[in-house]
Every structure is written in C-alpha cells, then in structure tokens.
C-alpha cells in the first residue's frame, strides 16, 4: 500500500486556500452589503403615500401618481453601496410631476449584479409609452449599459455623477441623453465625466451643477472621498429633478 503521507501537505494547502477564499468572499459580501451612509429623514418622509403619490415597496420602490393619465416612466439604478431609499425624494419629485418612478434595489447594493433589472419593470407596466432609465454613480454607468445593450427598450438615459463605459458609443442611437454632474464631485470627477462627451449624441443635455458634489445626488449623508458641496442638498436635488423632467419630456416626443 502506498503511503498517504505525501498527500497531507497538499490537502492542508487546499484547505487553507479554500478558507482564504471563503474569508475574502464573506468580507466582500459584508463590505458591499453595508450601505455607504444612512438614509436621511427627508428620504424617509418621501416614502409615505399621500393624495398625490402612492408609494409601494415590493418588489421595487414604486412612486405612482394618483392621476389616471400616466404615459411616462422613470427607472432609477442606485449608486454603489447606496441604500435605494436614499433616492426617494428624487423619485417622488418626478411622480409629483406626473411620471411613474421606480427605484430598483440591487443585490449587495451593486447595480452591476443586476444590470438587466429594468426589463422586468418595463414589462410590468405596459401602459407606459415612454421610458427613461437613470442611475447615480455606478448605477448610472449600469443604466447606460442597459440602454446600449437594449436598443429600443428605453427612450431616454439620465446619468447622475456617472459616465458610460469607454467602449459604448451612443452617437448613432435614437436616444435622448442627459448627463448631470457636480463640479465639486470627488468620485466622478469633472474630467472623467466630460471625457465621455464624445461618446454621446450631439444633442445630449450636459448639465454641470456648480457647487454640487457626489453624495448630494441622494439623501444618505456624506461619502468618503467626496468634496464638500457649496450648495444645499435640496438645491442640488431641485436642479436634478428639473433636468430629469426635461429629459422625460424629450423622450416622450
């Protein structure tokens, strides 16, 4: 009988590798599953239904205008590690203006893990004739990926503090596009955002919010690596809602 002794170091090594992999995976799950900030009180308040907007939480966070004639829909992918509820004031502002607004929670708070999520929303609301997909930060890049890989599915694309992946060219697509960014953004910098302009249609809305930063596109507090904003969060949000509504109207033409 051959000795089993030489196999023991190999078995120990394999076990150590397996344990290391498990530790890394668990660590990544804990890190990405932990939100980048706390949902602020303004966002919690926006999640309450009233006579103008009905809010539901499953399977998505849906803001449904109570008006009967709803023809436009707005789908939002959250930023990486940002709680989806942090975008409730933005979604509510759009719903108050007459558009269905849907925030999609993502696995581990990472839109890259469910890029195709918008399809289920679109299929769930067949009466909506014009769809805009949007996203913040990583969510914006993944919204751009969805729009590029699903031509004709959406009529508009809004990127908030985000830019498309370098290999995507939108210049030949029949798509209304808006890219909205702050000049105090420490994470999606002005140079990075403006460097993507050559990938976009010539008539794209390009809106820089003076004094705006990265975290104020949502309601989750400050974010590591960001620069201090020089305008209030509410003022930045109002500018975002106005620009998003302009794009919704353009997409619906």
27-76: pLDDT as tens digits:
434 444 555 679 999 999 999 999 999 999 999 999 999 987 899 999 99
Q: Are 155 and 200 in contact (CB under 8 A)?
A: no
Residue for token digits 């590029």? 148
Tell me the CB-side half-sphere exposure of residue 45, using CA atoms within 13 A.
Answer: 5
Instruction: Tell me the pLDDT band of 1, cut-offs 50, 70 and 90.
Output: very low
Q: Is the pLDDT of residue 19 over 80?
A: no
- Cα 103 from Cα 91, distance rounded (Å): 7
pLDDT at 252: 76
Q: What is the pLDDT of residues 87-138, one digit of tens each?
A: 999 999 999 999 999 999 999 999 999 999 999 999 999 999 999 999 999 9
Tell me the pLDDT tens digit for each residue of 174-206.
Answer: 999 999 999 999 999 999 999 999 999 999 999
Buried b (16+ CB within 10 A) or exposed e, 144-169: bbbbbeeeeebbbbbbbbbbbeeebe
Task: Count the neighbouring beta carbons within 10 Å of the beta carbon of residue 96.
Answer: 16
Going from N- to C-terminal start, the domains of the chain cover 1-33, 38-251
Q: Residue 25 pLDDT > 50, yes or no?
A: no
Fold classified for 38-251: Rossmann fold (3.40.50)
Q: Are strands 156-160 and 205-209 parallel, antiparallel or unpaired?
A: unpaired
Kind and range of the H or E element at 218?
A: none
| Contact indicator for 67, 98 with CB cutoff of 8 Å | yes
Residues in the chain: 253
- Mean pLDDT score, 4-28: 51
Q: Does the pLDDT value for residue 219 go beyond 50?
A: yes
Please tell me what DSSP assigns to residue 32: H
């Amino acid at each position: 009988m051959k000795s089993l002794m030489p196999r023991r170091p190999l078995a120990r090594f394999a076990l150590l590798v397996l344990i290391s992999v498990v530790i890394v995976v668990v660590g990544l799950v804990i890190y990405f599953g932990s939100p980048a900030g706390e949902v602020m009180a303004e966002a919690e308040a926006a999640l309450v239904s009233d006579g103008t907007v009905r809010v539901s939480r499953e399977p998505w966070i849906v803001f449904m205008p109570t008006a009967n004639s709803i023809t436009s829909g707005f789908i939002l992918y959250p930023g990486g590690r940002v709680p989806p509820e942090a975008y409730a004031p933005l979604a509510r502002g759009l719903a108050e203006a007459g558009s269905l607004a849907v925030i999609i929670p993502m696995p581990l708070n990472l839109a890259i893990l469910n890029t195709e999520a918008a399809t289920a929303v679109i299929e769930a609301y067949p009466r909506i004739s014009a769809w805009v997909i949007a996203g913040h930060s990583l969510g914006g890049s993944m919204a751009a990926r969805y729009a590029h890989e699903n031509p004709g599915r959406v009529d508009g694309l809004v990127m908030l503090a985000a830019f498309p992946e370098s290999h995507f060219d939108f210049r030949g697509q029949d798509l209304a596009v808006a890219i909205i960014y702050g000049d105090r953004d420490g994470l999606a910098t002005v140079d990075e955002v403006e460097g993507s302009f050559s990938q976009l249609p010539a008539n794209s809305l390009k809106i820089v919010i003076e004094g705006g930063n990265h975290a104020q596109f949502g309601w989750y507090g400050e974010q590591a690596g960001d620069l201090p904003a020089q305008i209030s969060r509410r003022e930045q949000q109002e500018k975002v809602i106005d620009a998003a509504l302009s794009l919704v109207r353009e997409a619906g033409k």
